Every structure is written in structure tokens, then in C-alpha cells.
């Protein structure tokens, strides 16, 4: 404890100084989310939002070859897809996955197509119980980025695969 002499000596030593105003803001820092966590949350949101099991779209099936074309797209694109004019840059193999796992993988594939600017991708459904082969096109047509899909030509997997075209954001005009 300070006695009166020490306190007086202290007062003399600090005479003429100004009191410091504490106005520095120190924000509370939260740990940053890793890119993989953010991506996983987006994929999960996409899966829940876009891929409903109850939705029954109007798909065209000709000789068991499933196909779909978004309304605002030129029909010639579908013919090109059927002929194999588009070469897939990403491949997704869904053999052995459950329905929930397949949904997550589809959301990941579409997100990867957007991020890496991939226009065409191949999804290998296989045959098996035909559950995924039947359900995958019904999920894909619900996603707004999927502009077309068609049973793959023989060189890209034939009846055991589906080719999809994913809408890409337009590049800003360079001046």
C-alpha cells in the first residue's frame, strides 16, 4: 500500500501528462471456416434444395434412352449431346453409393463444373438394381444449372452413363 509521501511523489512525477483515452477496438475473432467446410455446406444446401425424391419431371424416354432439354435451350444441343459431339471433362462414378451419397456427389459435380468452368460431364450410374439409373435424371432436371442431359453414346459409357451440360456464367465483357 502507498503512503502519502509516495503518492505525492507520484503526483509530482506525472504532472503535465494527459490521460490516455482507450478507443482501440479489438474485434472478437472467430476461426475461419476452411474452404472444404464452406463447399460441404453449399453442397448440402444444394442437395436439400434441388434434389427432391417426390418430384416427377416430364422426361422424354425413347427406347429407354433418357433425355432432357431446358425450355430456353436450342433443341440442336440435345442432338449434339446424343451424337457425342461434346466431350465430358469430368466423370462421376456412382457405383455402390446409396441414394443420399449419390445426391451429395451430384451436388459436388455440378458445383465443380461451375467452379472449373466445365460444360460437359459424364455420370456413370451403372445398371445394378437400376434405382440410381432411374432416379438420377429426375434429380438432375431439378437443378437450374443443368441445361440438358442425354443417355451417353457408347464411347462415353452407353446405357450405363448420362452426359449432362452445365450452364456456365457468362464472362464479363473485356474492354
CATH number, residue 78: 3.30.1370.110
Residue span of the structural domain in which 123 resides: 66-166
Is 77 contained in some domain?
yes
Decide: 166 and 121 in contact? Cβ < 8 Å: yes
Q: Is residue 46 part of a domain?
A: no
Residue 5 lies in a domain: no
Query: CB 37: neighbour CB atoms within 10 A?
Result: 10
Terminal CA-CA length for the chain: 74
Tally of CB atoms within 10 A around 118: 17
Number of domains the chain contains: 1
Residue 21 falls within a domain, yes or no?
no
How many whole angstroms separate alpha carbon 146 and alpha carbon 103?
14
Instruction: Write out pLDDT tens, residues 108-120.
Output: 888 889 888 999 9
Max avg pLDDT among 2-6, 17-21, 164-168: 164-168
pLDDT in tens, 1-11: 678 888 898 88
Alpha-carbon distances of 121 from 15, 61, 87, 112, rounded to whole Å: 77, 20, 8, 10
Residue 140 located in a structural domain: yes
Domain annotation covers residue 114: yes
In a domain, 102, yes or no: yes
| Structural domain contains residue 111 | yes
Amino acid at each position: 500500500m502507498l503512503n502519502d509521501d509516495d503518492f505525492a511523489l507520484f503526483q509530482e512525477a506525472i504532472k503535465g501528462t494527459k490521460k490516455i483515452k482507450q478507443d482501440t477496438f479489438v474485434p472478437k475473432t472467430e476461426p475461419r471456416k476452411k474452404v472444404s467446410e464452406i463447399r460441404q455446406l453449399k453442397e448440402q444446401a444444394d442437395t436439400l434444395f434441388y434434389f427432391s425424391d417426390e418430384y416427377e419431371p416430364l422426361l422424354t424416354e425413347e427406347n429407354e434412352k433418357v433425355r432432357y432439354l431446358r425450355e430456353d435451350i436450342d433443341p440442336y444441343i440435345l442432338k449434339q449431346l446424343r451424337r457425342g459431339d461434346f466431350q465430358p471433362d469430368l466423370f462421376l462414378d456412382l457405383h455402390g453409393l446409396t441414394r443420399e451419397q449419390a445426391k451429395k456427389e451430384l451436388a459436388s459435380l455440378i458445383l465443380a463444373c461451375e467452379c472449373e468452368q466445365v460444360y460437359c460431364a459424364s455420370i456413370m450410374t451403372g445398371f445394378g438394381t437400376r434405382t440410381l439409373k432411374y432416379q438420377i435424371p429426375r434429380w438432375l432436371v431439378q437443378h437450374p444449372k443443368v441445361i440438358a442431359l442425354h443417355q451417353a453414346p457408347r464411347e462415353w459409357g452407353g446405357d450405363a452413363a448420362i452426359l449432362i451440360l452445365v450452364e456456365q456464367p457468362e464472362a464479363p465483357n473485356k474492354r
